[in-house]
Structure 1
Amino acid sequence: MLQGSCLCGAITFQADAPARDPAACHCTQCRKQSGHYWAAVQVLDDGLKISGSPKWYTSSPGVRRGFCPTCGSFLFWKSDADPDMGVSLGAVDGPTGLHLTRHIFVADKGDYYDIIDGVPQEEQEDG
């Protein structure tokens, strides 16, 4: 079980469903919203409990990004076509026991860093 919160604690979450596919996204949108690349894990919608009132931003057709309206923490990524939600690994309280399985959208990564961890890289997301 993973649990976590935004920086100010106004939004909390608990994942009772298994966390899957820990990945780092290097797309331009994730970099702009998070300030760097964004690491997240997928959790089935019916296994995720969110407390508080995140603000949702429609960043692309059928895609929403959830953040705290008080402190601005970027917490969730949701495609209307998927049965799960991306949850920020950086917002998890305590150890996760997880390791990244892939880097996605590396074609969009910033020029100020290199990916040298040996984790598989995808120019774009394979899905």
Structure 2
Amino acid sequence: MPKKAINEISGQCLCGAVTVHARFASSIIRACHCEMCRRHTSSMFMSLATEPGSVSFDGPAKSYRSSDWAERGFCEICGSTLWYGTVNDGIRHPAAGLFENAAGVPLKLEFFADNAPDGYSLAGEHRKMTTQETLDLFAPKEG
């Protein structure tokens, strides 16, 4: 079976002070409707699936620890949202809006879909995970 081509992408924040570089073989856009993402972005947070360990940020990026398992990155100068990261594995999921045309990849997944405001409706066929399904995937297990 032939190996998938690796796409290298670059993007930047609103002011251009922070640049981001990442790789993906087959990417998707994910939307998150949790309360923290909505407060952080004033909407939903949309991220790209990338190759683990391939994402790098250069410039005045800051991080805010928003929960026991997550952090959120932003540009210190313009405030642009840069990433959502899981602290247990150090993986950062870059904001789709940092890349031209969101890297040209499709929306395939919504997290906390049952928390989406009444006025939000994303088009297309894709998986919509409930709050419980999302927590089961990301929240650290006790014990």
TM-based fold match above 0.5: yes
Aligned residues: 127
Distance of aligned partners of 1:73 and 1:19 in 2 relative to their CA distance in 1, 3 Å threshold: farther
Higher relative contact order (CA 8 A, sep 6+): 1
Q: Aligned in 2, Cα 1:36/1:118: closer, same or farther, shift over 3 Å?
A: same
1:14 aligns to what?
Answer: 21
Contact 1:76–1:85 (CA under 8 A) maintained in structure 2? yes
Bigger proportion of residues as helix: 2
Which structure 1 residue ranges, 4+ long, deviate > 3 Å from structure 2? 16-21
In structure 2, the CA distance between the partners of 1:109 and 1:95, relative to structure 1 (3 Å rule), is closer
Give unmatched runs, 5+ long, in structure 1.
Answer: none
- Aligned residues with identical type, % of pairs: 28
Does residue 1:103 correspond to 2:110, yes or no? yes
Tell me if structure 1 keeps the 8 A contact 2:28–2:105: no
Residue from 93, 100, 121 that aligns with 2:100: 93
TM-score by length of structure 2 reads 0.78
Give the drift of 1:102. Answer: 1.0
Aligned counterparts, 1:4-83, within 5 A: 4-18=11-25, 20-44=27-51, 46-82=53-89
Name the stretch that deviates more: 48-57 or 77-86: 77-86
Residue 18 (structure 1) shift: 4.0
Q: Which has the larger radius of gyration?
A: 2
| Runs of 5+ unmatched residues, structure 2 | 1-7, 138-143
Normalised to the residue count of structure 1, the TM-score between the two structures is 0.86
Q: What is the rounded CA distance, in whole Å, between the counterparts of 1:19 and 1:30 in structure 2?
A: 24
Name the counterpart of 2:124: 117
